[in-house]
Each structure stands twice: as structure tokens, then as C-alpha cells.
Amino acid sequence: MSLPERSPGRRSSAPETPAIVRPGKNCWQVDRAPRFACIQDAADYFRLVRQALLDARHSVFILGWDIQATLDLVPGHTGEIPSRLDHLLAFIVRRRPRLRCDVLIWDHAALYTLERDPLTRWRLGWRMPRGVRFGFDDHHPVGGSHHQKIVVVDDALAFCGGIDLTGHRWDTPAHRVDEPDRCTSLGGAYGPYHEVQAMVDGPAAARLGALARDRWRALGEKTRPPLHTIPAPWPADVEPDLRDVDVAIARTMPPSEREPDVRECERLFVDAIAGARESIYIESQYFTHEDLGQALAKQLREADGPEVVVVVPKECHGWLERQTMGALREGVCRHLVASDRHGRLRLVYPAASQRANVDTFVHSKVMVVDDRFVRIGSANVSRRSAGVDTECDLAVEVGPAARDRAGVRRIRARLLGEHLGLDAPETERALAAAGSMRALIDQRQDLDRTLRLLTVSDDNEPPPETVRVVADPGEPIQFASALGAFVPPLDVRSSPGVLRLSLPAVATAVAIAVVVRLLAPADAPSLAALLSTVSTAPASLAAAVGVFLVFHVLLLPLALLAVVAGVALGGLPGAAVALAGSWMASAIGYGAGRGLGASLVGRLVSRRSSRAVRQLSTHGRTGIALLRLTSMASAAAVHLINGAGRTPFGPYLSGSMHGLTPVMVSLALLGGLVRRAILVPSVAHWAMAGGTALLLAGAAGGLRTVLLMRQFSPSVSRQRQRAEFG
């Protein structure tokens, strides 16, 4: 099946309410969907995905921010047909040998290493039958992520929204305080969790299939299954909310070395807010985008503007996230409260039980405007969702037909009712009696399950600009894959933009990310007490080196471990441990590469990393040092490929030591500053840590530029390059 360039819309809005959806302006394409449904919460979504996968005949595409191979899609399921994700994928491709299943997940940053399954590549890649192709997508800006959450089956049925096929997501719309099936893979319980996903069929699903293929093509893959569809396997137990509607696909795509940025998600937010006449209903995990806050504030200041209901989590997760994203949210909320001259604003969070003091965490990304526009996707109301992360949202703008308007109202009533403990018909009746969403929310403030008013601080001190730059950037620092374009020719004259992308920027981002991860599960005083007991005796440092090596073998990045060493032991002791551990890891990894051989190592290492290592390793110790400095490939890839390729050990180890030394020392010293800020908390100490990180980034960036220019200048002869091998 071939898709048309763009399906014409069928909106017939009145002159006083101009169309919100504008293809080419605030969305990529608009395509017909015979059926559209809003799926609330992961229990139903996971069940429907399993059912769709079992119905697959030709192709399956899964795009995600995260994935958990051992995820049980239907907890408590028994029977011969598996419900565990990796077993299910293997089952469907063995049952239908011509079926292709392509799974593409963000190649996550160091921040998430400790909460990601280190065996994912093995479980979904090497262990899978040939019909399953698994990949990590590293084609993203520094500090950005691939945040799209899409599943497409046979280009006929598709899911798109805010839910990943991973752990810590499953819950039912009941959001019970005690839910035995709401637990992690290790058996730990977590609280109520609210999610939303859209399900579509027909040409709209096929268009999402085309988007998934584009993601693979951007990585250089050209053998994806051809685009074709069969009759849609729409689940019999799901009644569509909307029928025969046009579905717009809005994206965020940061700039690459080949393409400009795409900011359709942000533009669609702006246009939808401006187009509202009666009501705006928003659910978002993050609510930090000041420009979108300004657009909402403008509507609130109007005498006849719409009511605005914003549903967010009660607070951000973790101490440091509360100081960053939480502080940014406070600023936006304060501005909205100040602009609410007519009392039409409700900033709320869902309480699963006020008596038990249990809240429901909001991870959904939803917007409903009046009774004519509904939007479900992966984009938060944040700056990074507008320009740094890849995002994908589905939006439907209906015409005046009573059936379509009723469908939009039903979606909104079901979402609102879930938080208030009502079903959709009860909510619609209650809304009619109350006269507005805000009135209904106010009436139910004292009930056990309800939407509670968010407390907004009256502190007018905005967070420092550095907080926004790090926590919620509006634009990427630089596109990481620009390095990929640089590597093959190894000619800096043809890629001047590469010189702006340095290891220190990456190292700084990694250091900050690790600090966030360290602080998130504990408050500062308890962490300080723990750090104060750490010994730096020689025996303790030797043990720390052993721990460093063990965790690196478990695939934790050296950069992350260096910062952890600095935080745990102090700057100088941490630097000593990081240096010793990284040098030993280089030697051990080299030996492992020689033992495994080139064939097996080629399967373990990504194509991009392999290319970078092969190209730069030919330049001897300086090329290897640059690999370590520029992070063009993971440390493990550098170890293994040089060992398997039998690079002379002397130049390899010398280059590794030269390249790793400034990185390990810088990050360990930065960790030491963070340690001091934890032990003696103050704005000055945290500012010192952040300022030092920026200074280190600039200094190391200049050093890297000089090294690149000197080593790969056209005046450098081949004889000199060969002499580098000693």
C-alpha cells in the first residue's frame, strides 16, 4: 500500500472558530482513521498490545524510550501462549516465519543506567530468532532522548501516546491503594500510576508505520519490511471513541546534520490554546514551558476566555528534580495564578486516597479543547519536548457533527472521571449539573478520591538560568551523530561543526545526570550521613577499585563510575580509584576482545561504535586517546574492538591512559565538589560544583580541538601516523 502525500481534512469549523490543525504548520500529515480510541492506563494498553502482536501477520514496529524484556503484559496470565514480552516476540515470529518484528529503543544516557535492564540487548537481540531485530538508537542530540512511544502492527493498527513497554507503568483506572499486580520486576511495590495511549487503524496507522521506518533509515538501515496493510485487527472489546476522523501526526525532531528541526508539537500546543473557546483540559507529567504558560495566561486574562484545568503530579520525583523541574513548574504555575483574574483556572493533582495520603502519579500527555479537539502523545508541556527530544502526538479535530462532538466529550469525561472516582456517564451528568469542570472539581474536594488543588508557592524568586539549561533545555547542545559524519573522512576541514562538540560537554551532562540519579532516592541529610562514614584507607581504596571494575563489567559507563567515585570518596581519592579502575578495565577489556574474536565482538558492538573505533584506531595512540576523549564509542566498544582487531597492546594502553586520565580526574574532582555540597549543603557549594563543571568543559573542549587539529591536519604524514604504533 502506498500512502498519499496528505489526506485532506474534513473539518468544517464555523468562521469564528478557525481550524486548529494545519498540515505543514503544526503537524506532519493528516490521515484518515476509521476508528480512534483513547486507552487509559497500562493494564488495558499492555493487554491490547499483546492481542495485536498475536494477530500480526507481516510486520511489527516498536519505538520506545525504554523497554523491559521481562515485562509481563498480562499479570497473572496462565496458558501456553506467553505474556512476557521477550517470550511473546519469540513466539510470534516462530509461529509465522515471514513476520518481521523491529524494536528500536533510545540508547539511554548514563542517568538511567542503574534503572535499565543491562541484559536487554541479550534478551531482545542476541537470544531472539532471526525475525526479531532489536536496536539502540543513538542518533540524538547531546542531552536529548528518543521519547516516542509507538507500536504499529501490519501497518493497520497502531498505538501512540505516553506509555512505554517497560516496568513501573502497569496500573488500572481504579488506581487502588493496594494493588498486588502493581509491582516491579524485583517484586517491589509502587504507587498508582496514570497513563494514556491512543489506538488508531487504517491510513493513520500506516503513516505511523512510515514514521517507524524513517527512524530505522536514519540509522542507515534500508531493509525494513515494505509498507502494506491487511484488514485491521481492531479488538472486539474496544468501542471506538471516534469513527471516520482525520488524525494529525505532530512531531518534535531536533536538528541533525542533514535536516532542520521540527517543532510541530510546540506549534500545535500554541494553536490549540489560542483556538479554545470554552475549555482547555491538560494532563502532563511536566509543566515547565513558559511560552505555553504565557499562552494559557493570555486566555485566562480574557473576560470571556475558556476555563483551564491542568492535571499534573503532586510533585516531581526525587530531591534534585524537585529543585529543578519542580522549581520551573512553580514559576509557570505562579504566573498562571496571577493571571487568573476571573477564577477559571484549576491546577490539580489526583489523589487516589486522601485518607491514606496516596497520590496518583501522572505520566500521561493529553489535551482536550472544547468538544472539538483531542490530543494524545508523548510530548510534555516542557521545553525539551518542544525542541530536544523526539516526540510524536496524535490529534483529532472534529467538525460540527453531533456524533463526533459527543465522542470528544466522552473522552474528556472518562479522563476527568477516572481522577474523581466516576465513570464517564456519571461524569457527564455531574458536569451538566455543575456547569463546568472547575465547579465539579470544587464540589468534590473533600472526597477520598478526587482532584486536589495544587499548592503554588508565593516565592517569586525564579530558578537560575543554569537550572533551565541543564534540566529543561529548549534547544539541543549539538547533534551527537555529527561525529559519525566526521569519522569516515577524518578531515576536520570538512566538518567544522564537530569541533564544537566536545567530550567535556558530554562529561558534564553525564556528571549532572549521575548526581540526579544518586540523590533522587534519598534526601540530602541521610545521604550526607552515609557519605561521612566512607573510609579512604588504602585497603578501602583497593576494594573500591575492585567494585569499580565489577560495575564496569556490568556495563556501567566509566564516566558515571568516575563521578560516583568522587562523590563517595572525595575528589583526590576518587580520582585515584577512577584512574586505576579505568586503566585496569582497558587492559581486561582488551584481553576479552582478543579472546572473543572479531566475529562475536562484531555482534556485540553497534555499527556506529565499530566504525568510529576502526577509523580512529588506525591513528595509533593518539587516535585511541581521541576515542576516549570524544566518547565516539563506549569504553567497552573501544576495549573489545581493539582487542579483537589485535591493535598493538602498547600503543593501545598508552592511548587509553592518555585519553582517560583527564576525563577520569575531571569527573572525579567534580564528584568531590558534589560530595562537599551534599555534606555541607549551600547554594554556594552547588554553584561551585556547577561552575567548575562548566570550566572543565571549556578547558577540555579547547584541548580536544587542538588535538584534533594537530593530529588530523593535512600536513600530518602517513609515516607519522604509522610511527604512532611505536
What's the CATH number where 238 sits?
3.30.870.10
Distance separating alpha carbons of residues 388 and 386, to the nearest angstrom: 7
Q: Left (φ > 0), alpha (ψ -120 to 50) or beta: where does 146 sit? A: beta
How many domains is the chain built from? 3
**708: pLDDT strictly greater than 80:** no
pLDDT tens sequence across 117-168: 777 878 888 889 999 999 888 787 767 889 999 999 999 999 999 999 999 9
Report the candidate in 61, 147, 157, 50 with the shortest Cα–Cα distance to residue 100: 61
* Residues 377 and 418 reside in one and the same domain: yes
Q: How confident is the model at residue 612 (pLDDT cuts 50, 70, 90)?
A: low
Last residue of a domain, one of 253, 287, 311: 253
User: Which of 187 and 420 is assigned the larger pLDDT?
Assistant: 420
Q: How confident is the model over 513-530, as a mean pLDDT? A: 46
The SS3 of residue 186 is coil
* Residues 488 and 523 reside in one and the same domain: yes
The SS3 of residue 606 is coil
DSSP string, 222-251: --PPPP---S----TT---SEEEEEEEEEE
To the nearest whole percent, how much of the chain has pLDDT over 70? 77
* Residues 231 and 334 reside in one and the same domain: no
* Residues 159 and 100 reside in one and the same domain: yes
First to last CA, the chain: 59
Q: How confident is the model at residue 523 (pLDDT cuts 50, 70, 90)?
A: very low
Q: How confident is the model over 633-652, as a mean pLDDT? A: 75
* Residues 308 and 190 reside in one and the same domain: no
136 within domain boundaries? yes
pLDDT tens sequence across 43-100: 999 999 999 999 999 999 999 999 999 999 999 888 899 999 999 999 999 999 999 9
Q: How confident is the model at residue 697 (pLDDT cuts 50, 70, 90)?
A: low
User: Which of 449 and 326 is assigned the larger pLDDT?
Assistant: 449
474 within domain boundaries? no
476 within domain boundaries? no
Whole-number average pLDDT of the chain: 81
Distance separating alpha carbons of residues 577 and 125, to the nearest angstrom: 34
* Residues 291 and 172 reside in one and the same domain: no
9 within domain boundaries? no
Question: Which grid cell sits at 355?
Answer: 485518607
**539: pLDDT strictly greater than 90:** no
Q: How confident is the model at residue 460 (pLDDT cuts 50, 70, 90)?
A: low
* Residues 565 and 600 reside in one and the same domain: yes
* Residues 63 and 158 reside in one and the same domain: yes
10 within domain boundaries? no
* Residues 95 and 238 reside in one and the same domain: yes
CA atoms within 13 A on the CB side of 357: 0
**715: pLDDT strictly greater than 90:** no
* Residues 511 and 545 reside in one and the same domain: yes
Distance separating alpha carbons of residues 407 and 10, to the nearest angstrom: 16
Distance separating alpha carbons of residues 431 and 281, to the nearest angstrom: 14
Distance separating alpha carbons of residues 394 and 576, to the nearest angstrom: 51
459 within domain boundaries? no
pLDDT at 505: 40
Q: How confident is the model at residue 713 (pLDDT cuts 50, 70, 90)?
A: very low
User: Which of 222 and 674 is assigned the larger pLDDT?
Assistant: 674
pLDDT at 529: 62
* Residues 407 and 446 reside in one and the same domain: yes
Find how far residue 524's CA is from the centre of its chain.
26
The pTM assigned to this predicted structure is 0.72
106 within domain boundaries? yes
* Residues 186 and 246 reside in one and the same domain: yes
Domain that holds residue 414: 262-453
Question: Which grid cell sits at 34?
Answer: 476509521
Question: Which grid cell sits at 260?
Answer: 532542520
Q: How confident is the model at residue 178 (pLDDT cuts 50, 70, 90)?
A: very high
pLDDT tens sequence across 310-357: 999 998 876 657 777 888 999 999 999 999 999 999 999 999 999 999
pLDDT at 527: 56
Match 589485535 to its residue by C-alpha cell: 646
pLDDT at 138: 78
6 within domain boundaries? no
Question: What are φ and ψ of residue 149, in 5° steps?
Answer: -130, 95
Q: How confident is the model over 276-301, as a mean pLDDT? A: 96
Last residue of a domain, one of 432, 453, 474: 453
Last residue of a domain, one of 412, 435, 453: 453
Report the candidate in 526, 524, 656 with the shortest Cα–Cα distance to residue 588: 656
Give the bridge partners for 60, in sequence order.
Answer: 101, 153
